[in-house]
Amino acid sequence: MEVIFILIAISLMLAGSFLFLFFKAMKSGQFDDNHTPAIRILFENETKTKDKKQVPSTTKSK
Amino acid sequence: MIKPNQIVTQPSKSTCYHCGEDCKEEILPFDGKEFCCTGCKLVYEVLNENDLCSYYEIADNPGLSQKSISSRNNRFDYLNDLDIISKLVDFQNHEETHVTFSIPLIHCASCIWLLENLHKINAGIVSGRVDFIKKKVQIKFHQRDISLREVVSLLSRIGYEPSINLADVDKKAPAVSDQKLIYKLAVAGFCFGNMMLFSLPEYFAEAELLGNGFKKTFNYLNVLLALPVFFYAATDYYRSAWIAIKNRGVNMDVPIAVGIFTLFTYSLYDIFGLGNEGYMDTLGGLIFFLLIGKYYQQKTYDTLSFDRDYKSYFPVAVTKIVREEEEVIPLIKLHVGDIIKVRNEELVPADSILLEGEAFIDYSFVTGEEVPVIRKRGELIYAGGRQKGKSLLLTVQKSPSQGYLTDLWNNDSFEKEKANSLESLANRISGKFTVTVLLVALSALVYWSWNGQIALGVLSFTSVLIITCPCALAMSTPFTLGNTLRVFGQGKFFLKNSQVIERLAKVDTVVFDKTGTLTAPSQASVKYFGESLSAESKSLIKTMVNQSTHALSNRINTFLDGVKGLDLQEVEEVQGKGIRTIYKSQEIKLGSAEFVGEGNSDLPKGGNLVFFAIESSVLGYFFIQSGLRKGIKEVVNNIQETRLVHFLSGDQDHERVNLKNIFGNEVLMNFNQGPTDKLAYIKQLNQNGANTLMIGDGLNDAGALREAKVGIALTDKITNFSPASDAIMDASMIQKLPAFLRFTHTSRNIIKASFGLSFTYNFVGVFFAVQGLVSPVFCAILMPISSISVVVFTTLTTNYLAYKRGLKEKII
């Protein structure tokens, strides 16, 4: 049953890394605006099919 | 997109390809499309050149009419000023500049698309990023290739002129601190979840799944996980409790802090000293639930701003005349004695005397009255008025911050924050609660010690403190108020924070501003006096007013609703005087007494007069009064049943009799009240012990709104304009004001009822605690049950009662 110590360590590390990722997402502003990205995701497709050259320069803030 | 029915019914009319409005005055064909004005056409040209016409495919007619946009080239010159630039930008290094603009015109998907593709128009721009809800765009650009001024004029050229006002330059708002709460909530949630897992074996102690070694390890892990909760997540409660004790008061956070400390220290002793399991999981759960309550209470409305002062409306720059030359300077550098130029649709930034030009000043955002007033040379014009007409030359008499209106903000009442009512319901109860709990705990300790069982005494003492930890008590207030806040928000009554609800419940004196609050421009009453109008004259007048944008024309237009128009050749508008046309070779005039040549002095007062004359013989006049809002009479009568009602008005008192007839004699009316008088009036009421509620709309009410215990700003368009206040209400919802006020009492009662509920739990808990029978399992069951049942109870009752009272359409 000693294996449970390893499992506990793994589970804590896993949960801790989720917490860390959440903090990172908060800091990067992922939750600041949760409306615009929903609209934005619809354009990207359209511009890709229209003019392929422009794609690399489309908006990317981070 | 083709709309077939439109083509059938309106074959002759064409709509603008850019903004979708009917092309009334002229049709500008370009590139096979039709435009209503050069502004719209220009935007199309820019977009077309840069291959950005997908703009028009994402949404139908996404643009906004460009008719009223000023085309003066030098108006952004102030953006070359280094001081201004450094205050506007978010970030700048040797290569890149980041700046965030607020663009109120953002309204559809096309707007986002265009503003995020600015780099296609100018290579100097790196990227644009839109926040649709806040109507903001962050633009990154290389300052070597494009200057800030050029960025702004580019935005203006494509029809998205950013609104840059004095407040943007004055100071940067610090980042909001409510993010901290989310971090704390995340930490508490993480620790609580894991602690529950490690405590699980305790709850099934009989099962003996694991050996004793595991038990110890789990307990130590729990201590480890409790550390961030105790030292980080719960810190707000210690601070708040400490402040309350320092001020010799007891608030809700004092018993919570006491409970947290007892739980933590006793559990440490229990785990390390006695080798037992402790109450760390209860501690984690307690703080997690409390923080959820706190988070729920913090409902914010991103699109609304509750703290705007005059600076949010004043321009950043003015045109100053120096040796016959125009120079655009930042407003902060404007001095008394300077000569400034104010153009059509521009705001007068400081109290000044008119030197040259004809002034038609629209004070609508100061007083709420939208009919422009005429000022002659040598007369004083107050800051905050908007010129409608040709350019003016003015000499500045007072600095922008010291004017008749702006002086309000130098008053003391703007210095101090409104007291966070310490005597709120929860705090008053928690004082008694804390004392009672301590007494019970002490008497348990004394009782057991007396009987020679000191260990049991200590146990029951701590048990009482642990079990009565006012989790459920502390959660009833935030959840009830948070729910009420949401219910009100659905009814377009937006409160700044949840404390406003408790303050609203105590209101006993309601003060209304008259202009713009009791009355509404859209409810104007129009009467016609004079020779009766033939059908032909009516059609004639209708056609004339149809072509004018003046506020009075609009009202006559609505008055003559249903009258058919004529085909007129040319209607000429004489700015600020009236409109003139030739019909059947007769000169027709519609306008002021002076304009038509009327000399009669025996005319009704208290409204605006518009005369109708054919060939300089006056046939009659329209008497236009701003009408009362729909349902306002019932609102006032309803409020009067339980509270005192006062009216404040900046106008002369010629309407006193009229208002008395409508609202009765019990309303206290005060006329000729300037902005500072209104503030002083409310202050006086407050000093006499009244709990005042002020309802106003213009900037001239800002002082009174601030001074009153609760200030409600009434606005026709929620996102548009409102002075600083505790609450913003959509003007169409004013009929529901009495219902809202009544509901604040209801939510107080709900809080009281849920206090009763949590007291019941506490009684049960204390009953076991004094006997020293409390175990971690008992705690772990009672604590979540009490919290969750209180949350469910308050949420359901608040929403159900709101639904029953008609404040809400659906129950949940």
What CA dihedral angle connects B771, B772, B778 and B780, to 10 degrees? 130
Distance from CA of A30 to the nearest CA of B (A): 12
Q: How far apart are CA B125 and CA B128, in angstroms?
A: 8
Whether B716 has its CB under 8 Å from any CB of chain A: the answer is no
The helix or strand, by DSSP H or E, that contains position B465, with its residue range, turns out to be helix B454-467
- Set of chain B residues whose Cβ sits within 8 Å of the Cβ of A33: 131-134
- Given B738, B763, B796, which residue is the final one in a domain? B738
Which of A12, A39, A60 is facing B109, going by the closest CB pair? A39
Statement to judge: residues B434 and B454 lie in one domain:
yes
Neighbour-count burial for B674-694, b at 16+ CB within 10 Å, e otherwise: ebbbbbbbbbebbeeebbbbb
Is residue B624 domain-resident?
no
Query: The tokens 């149809």 sit on which residue?
Result: B546
> Per the CB < 8 Å rule, is B210 touching A54?
no
Statement to judge: residues B253 and B197 lie in one domain:
yes
Instruction: For residue B395, give the 3-state DSSP assignment.
Output: strand
Q: How far apart are CA B56 and CA B407, in angstroms?
A: 47
Distance from CA of B133 to the nearest CA of A (A): 7
Ranges assigned E (strand) in B262-324: 317-322
Distance from CA of B403 to the nearest CA of A (A): 38
Residues of chain B with pLDDT under 50: 1-12, 422
Token readout for B79 is 């953006």
A57 CB contacts (<8 Å, ≥6 apart)? B119
Instruction: For residue B491, give the 3-state DSSP assignment.
Output: coil
The confidence score (pLDDT) of residue B570 equals 75
B664: left (phi over 0), alpha (psi -120 to 50) or beta: left
User: Nearest residue of B to residue A47 by CA position?
Assistant: B54
Phi, psi angles (nearest 5°) of residue B386: -110, 130
Is residue B596 domain-resident?
no
Instruction: For residue B202, give the 3-state DSSP assignment.
Output: helix
Query: The tokens 């004043």 sit on which residue?
Result: B314
Q: How far apart are CA B209 and CA B201, in angstroms?
A: 8
> Per the CB < 8 Å rule, is B186 touching A32?
no
Statement to judge: residues B734 and B751 lie in one domain:
no
Question: DSSP class of residue B15?
Answer: B
Model confidence over B7-50: pLDDT tens digits?
333 334 577 777 777 766 667 777 777 777 777 777 777 777 77
ipTM, two decimals: 0.75
- Given B364, B397, B430, which residue is the final one in a domain? B397
Closest CA relative to residue B509, chosen from B335, B690, B332: B690
Whether B182 has its CB under 8 Å from any CB of chain A: the answer is yes
- Set of chain B residues whose Cβ sits within 8 Å of the Cβ of A15: 190, 193-194
Statement to judge: residues B378 and B441 lie in one domain:
no
**Could you tell me how far CA B231 lies from the centroid of its own chain?**
36
- Given B682, B713, B738, which residue is the final one in a domain? B738
pLDDT higher than threshold 60 for residue A60: no
A34 CB contacts (<8 Å, ≥6 apart)? none
The confidence score (pLDDT) of residue B419 equals 56
Q: How far apart are CA B152 and CA B401, in angstroms?
A: 27
Statement to judge: residues B337 and B451 lie in one domain:
no
> Per the CB < 8 Å rule, is A36 touching B119?
no
Indicate which of A43, A47, A49 best probes the interface with B, i.e. most B CBs within 10 Å of its own CB. Answer: A43
The confidence score (pLDDT) of residue B605 equals 67
Which segments of B247-279 does DSSP mark as H helices, in order? 253-268
What's the whole-model pTM score? 0.77
CATH code at position B321: 2.70.150.10
Do A48 and B118 touch, CB atoms closer than 8 A?
no
Distance from CA of A62 to the nearest CA of B (A): 11
Is residue B308 domain-resident?
no
B516: left (phi over 0), alpha (psi -120 to 50) or beta: left
Statement to judge: residues B194 and B289 lie in one domain:
yes
- Set of chain B residues whose Cβ sits within 8 Å of the Cβ of A22: 186
Task: Report how far apart the first and last C-alpha atoms of chain A are (Å, whole number).
Answer: 46
Which of A1, A12, A51 is facing B210, going by the closest CB pair? A1
> Per the CB < 8 Å rule, is A36 touching B131?
yes
- Set of chain B residues whose Cβ sits within 8 Å of the Cβ of A16: 190
> Per the CB < 8 Å rule, is B182 touching A26?
yes
**What's chain B's length in residues?**
812
Is residue B36 domain-resident?
yes
User: How many CB atoms within 10 Å of residue B535?
Assistant: 9
User: Nearest residue of A to residue B50 by CA position?
Assistant: A54
Which of A33, A54, A59 is facing B131, going by the closest CB pair? A33
Statement to judge: residues B428 and B292 lie in one domain:
yes
Statement to judge: residues B734 and B753 lie in one domain:
no
Whether B220 has its CB under 8 Å from any CB of chain A: the answer is no
The helix or strand, by DSSP H or E, that contains position B361, with its residue range, turns out to be strand B359-362
- B16-25 long-range contacts (CB < 8 A, ≥24 apart) are B16/B40, B16/B61, B16/B63, B16/B65, B17/B44, B17/B56, B17/B61, B18/B43, B18/B44, B18/B56, B18/B61, B18/B63, B18/B66, B18/B159, B19/B61, B19/B63, B19/B64, B19/B65, B19/B66, B20/B60, B20/B61, B20/B63, B21/B65
CATH code at position B687: 3.40.50.1000
- Set of chain A residues whose Cβ sits within 8 Å of the Cβ of B179: 26
Statement to judge: residues B639 and B514 lie in one domain:
yes
pLDDT higher than threshold 60 for residue A47: no
Statement to judge: residues B427 and B469 lie in one domain:
yes
- Set of chain A residues whose Cβ sits within 8 Å of the Cβ of B120: 54
The confidence score (pLDDT) of residue B782 equals 79
User: How many CB atoms within 10 Å of residue A49?
Assistant: 7
Query: The tokens 């995701």 sit on which residue?
Result: A41
- Give the count of alpha carbons within 13 A of B485, CB side only: 22
**Could you tell me how far CA B279 lies from the centroid of its own chain?**
44
Is residue B637 domain-resident?
yes
User: How many CB atoms within 10 Å of residue B330?
Assistant: 18
Is residue B490 domain-resident?
no
Whether B588 has its CB under 8 Å from any CB of chain A: the answer is no
Token readout for B155 is 């935005």
- Set of chain A residues whose Cβ sits within 8 Å of the Cβ of B209: none
Statement to judge: residues B367 and B392 lie in one domain:
yes
Q: How far apart are CA A55 and CA B333, in angstroms?
A: 45
Range of the domain at B325: 315-348+351-397
Phi, psi angles (nearest 5°) of residue B235: -60, -30
Do B644 and B511 touch, CB atoms closer than 8 A?
no
Statement to judge: residues B193 and B158 lie in one domain:
no
- Set of chain B residues whose Cβ sits within 8 Å of the Cβ of A5: 217
The confidence score (pLDDT) of residue B583 equals 80
The confidence score (pLDDT) of residue B366 equals 74
Which of B116, B132, B194 is facing A12, going by the closest CB pair? B194
**What's chain A's length in residues?**
62
Task: Report how far apart the first and last C-alpha atoms of chain B are (Å, whole number).
Answer: 38
> Per the CB < 8 Å rule, is B54 touching A26?
no
Do B318 and B349 touch, CB atoms closer than 8 A?
yes
The rounded mean pLDDT for chain A is 73
User: How many CB atoms within 10 Å of residue B320?
Assistant: 18
Given the DSSP bridges, would you call strands B33-35 and B28-30 parallel, antiparallel or unpaired? antiparallel
Closest CA relative to residue B781, chosen from B82, B240, B144, B196: B196
Token readout for B247 is 């001020």
> Per the CB < 8 Å rule, is B54 touching A46?
yes
Is residue B429 domain-resident?
yes
Distance from CA of B128 to the nearest CA of A (A): 7
Is residue B565 domain-resident?
no
- Set of chain A residues whose Cβ sits within 8 Å of the Cβ of B107: none
Query: Which residues, in sequence order, are bridge partners of residue B300?
Result: none
User: Nearest residue of A to residue B106 by CA position?
Assistant: A36
CATH code at position B103: 3.30.70.100
Ranges assigned E (strand) in B744-805: none
The total number of structural domains in chain B stands at: 5
Do B803 and B810 touch, CB atoms closer than 8 A?
yes
Strand order of the β-sheet with B509-513 is B493-495, B727-730, B710-715, B692-696, B509-513, B644-648, B668-670
